[in-house]
Structure formats: structure tokens, C-alpha cells
Structure 1
């Protein structure tokens, strides 16, 4: 008579555990995998301080210095429209004048 194998029984089997993807590994094993024994873990306060420092922009790093008033996307489109050798058919194919 046949007996079904349950999921916990499958997960205990050696062939199942070999080359198991990281997201299917037991959480306890996964937690220990990334720990480095010679370096202490960072506290939550230290992590939050690093994140808060990273979100504050440095002095002079604002994007305004890169944006000028004469930037116009339509200028680029005018260059394409003025190219008399280039014709785009309604099908999307490019046809060149000979």
C-alpha cells in the first residue's frame, strides 16, 4: 500500500537539502550564513544613524546646478523633423531617399 510523503518529511531528506535555494533554507541557518564571526553585529541605532546620514544631501549636491533654462526637448525633435533624407512610413519602417 502506498503512503504519501509529507512536506516536513521531504524537507528533512538529505537529497532535498542539497543545493537548496537561499529562500527555502531554514531561517536559523540563513541568519547564520551571513554572520562574520570576527565582526560584531551593528545595533539598530547605528543602522538608523547611517540611513539618516545617507538621506541628507551633501552641500552643493543639488540638481539645480545641472539644469539650465535653455534645455528644450522640442529642439531635438526639430532636428529630426528637418532631416529631409529621413522619412518614417506609417508602418514604422525607415525609408531613405536615394
Structure 2
């Protein structure tokens, strides 16, 4: 892979990070898990990290209940994959 392709992939991961924490994704997670919190409150519990010049990122959820944290992380991941699988919906990106 050339450096332009790698940079493009890293930029895509940065974009995915923004989309993951968007109201379009987190709103669905809140609804599915009946969390009773705002998108902003949920977003504060989520950290997305990628190593410099890496095409891999990790999603971490902190919650007082470890089981709930795992459930949230898995649901965020599943919801993101479902939503991003098809052509991106402009509403998803712009929310």
C-alpha cells in the first residue's frame, strides 16, 4: 500500500470515529438498550482510539456497571456496522 492509500484509510477511520459518536448511531443504541440517558451523556462514556499511522481503532465504554459497558460497546459496534454497511445515509453523516 502506498502512503496516499494509508493516509486515506486513516482519514476514513477518523471519519468513522465521528460517525460512531453521532446522534444517528447513539440515538439508536439508547433506544435499543432503553438507557434513559441523552446522546451527550452516552458519548461521554465512549472513547475511540487509533494508534498513529494505524488502520485499526478501538472503542471503549466506561460505565459503573461493567456488564452494561460491554453491552453498550457491542451495541454501538453492531449499530455502526449495520448503518455503515450500505451507502452512507446523508442524515447519518450530517446528524
TM range (shorter): under 0.3
Q: Which has the larger radius of gyration?
A: 1
Larger relative contact order (Cα-Cα within 8 Å, sequence gap ≥ 6): 2
Q: Which has the higher strand share?
A: 2
Normalising by structure 1, we get a TM-score of 0.23
Normalising by structure 2, we get a TM-score of 0.23
